[in-house]
Protein backbone atom coordinates (compact mmCIF):
# COMPACT_ATOMS: atom_id res chain seq x y z
CA UNK A 1 0.00 0.00 0.00
CA UNK A 2 1.40 3.38 -0.95
CA UNK A 3 1.66 6.19 1.57
CA UNK A 4 -1.22 8.01 -0.13
CA UNK A 5 -3.42 4.89 -0.07
CA UNK A 6 -2.55 4.38 3.60
CA UNK A 7 -3.56 7.97 4.40
CA UNK A 8 -6.88 7.58 2.57
CA UNK A 9 -7.68 4.27 4.27
CA UNK A 10 -6.70 5.73 7.64
CA UNK A 11 -9.03 8.71 7.15
CA UNK A 12 -11.83 6.36 6.11
CA UNK A 13 -11.29 4.33 9.29
CA UNK A 14 -11.39 7.48 11.41
CA UNK A 15 -14.63 8.52 9.72
CA UNK A 16 -16.07 5.06 10.32
CA UNK A 17 -15.32 5.31 14.04
CA UNK A 18 -16.69 8.84 14.28
CA UNK A 19 -19.92 7.81 12.55
CA UNK A 20 -20.52 4.88 14.89
CA UNK A 21 -23.17 5.72 17.48
CA UNK A 22 -22.91 2.82 19.93
CA UNK A 23 -20.42 3.00 22.83
CA UNK A 24 -17.03 1.34 22.43
CA UNK A 25 -15.23 -0.69 25.10
CA UNK A 26 -12.84 1.50 27.12
CA UNK A 27 -9.75 -0.56 26.31
CA UNK A 28 -10.53 -0.34 22.60
CA UNK A 29 -10.94 3.45 22.83
CA UNK A 30 -7.58 3.78 24.57
CA UNK A 31 -5.86 1.80 21.83
CA UNK A 32 -7.56 3.88 19.14
CA UNK A 33 -6.57 7.05 20.99
CA UNK A 34 -2.91 6.09 21.22
CA UNK A 35 -2.57 4.98 17.61
CA UNK A 36 -4.51 7.98 16.33
CA UNK A 37 -2.29 10.39 18.26
CA UNK A 38 0.83 8.62 16.99
CA UNK A 39 -0.47 8.44 13.40
CA UNK A 40 -1.31 12.13 13.33
CA UNK A 41 1.86 13.16 15.17
CA UNK A 42 -0.27 14.91 17.80
CA UNK A 43 1.50 14.76 21.13
CA UNK A 44 -0.59 17.26 23.05
CA UNK A 45 -1.29 16.45 26.68
CA UNK A 46 -4.46 14.48 27.41
CA UNK A 47 -7.18 16.95 28.31
CA UNK A 48 -9.70 15.04 30.37
CA UNK A 49 -11.01 16.71 33.49
CA UNK A 50 -10.34 13.46 35.38
CA UNK A 51 -6.76 12.70 36.38
CA UNK A 52 -7.23 8.93 36.15
CA UNK A 53 -8.35 9.16 32.52
CA UNK A 54 -5.33 11.32 31.69
CA UNK A 55 -3.11 8.70 33.35
CA UNK A 56 -4.61 5.92 31.21
CA UNK A 57 -4.22 8.01 28.05
CA UNK A 58 -0.62 8.87 28.91
CA UNK A 59 0.14 5.20 29.54
CA UNK A 60 -1.41 4.27 26.19
CA UNK A 61 0.82 6.83 24.47
CA UNK A 62 3.92 5.42 26.18
CA UNK A 63 3.03 1.98 24.85
CA UNK A 64 3.19 3.17 21.23
CA UNK A 65 6.22 5.44 21.50
CA UNK A 66 8.42 3.20 19.31
CA UNK A 67 5.83 2.84 16.53
CA UNK A 68 6.23 4.87 13.34
CA UNK A 69 3.41 7.06 12.03
CA UNK A 70 2.74 4.69 9.12
CA UNK A 71 2.74 1.67 11.44
CA UNK A 72 0.30 3.48 13.73
CA UNK A 73 -2.01 4.20 10.80
CA UNK A 74 -1.96 0.54 9.76
CA UNK A 75 -2.63 -0.70 13.29
CA UNK A 76 -5.50 1.79 13.65
CA UNK A 77 -6.99 0.55 10.37
CA UNK A 78 -6.62 -3.06 11.51
CA UNK A 79 -8.22 -2.32 14.89
CA UNK A 80 -11.22 -0.69 13.22
CA UNK A 81 -11.64 -3.46 10.65
CA UNK A 82 -11.38 -6.18 13.29
CA UNK A 83 -13.80 -4.42 15.62
CA UNK A 84 -16.51 -4.16 12.99
CA UNK A 85 -15.81 -7.67 11.69
CA UNK A 86 -16.10 -9.39 15.07
CA UNK A 87 -18.58 -7.24 17.00
CA UNK A 88 -21.65 -8.99 15.67
Query: How does pLDDT run across 27-74, given as a tens digit for each residue?
Result: 999 999 999 999 998 877 777 778 888 889 889 989 999 999 999 999
Distance between CA 7 and CA 19 in Å, rounded? 18
Helix residue ranges, H only, 21-68: 26-39, 51-63
Arch. (CATH architecture) of 3-18+25-86: Up-down Bundle (1.20)
Q: How high is the pLDDT of residue 88?
A: 56
- 3-state SS, residue 16: helix
Stated pTM of the model: 0.90
The residues spanned by each domain of the chain are: 3-18+25-86
Amino acid sequence: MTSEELDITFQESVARINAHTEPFPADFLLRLYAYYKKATNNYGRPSSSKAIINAFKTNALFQVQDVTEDEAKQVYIDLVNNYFLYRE
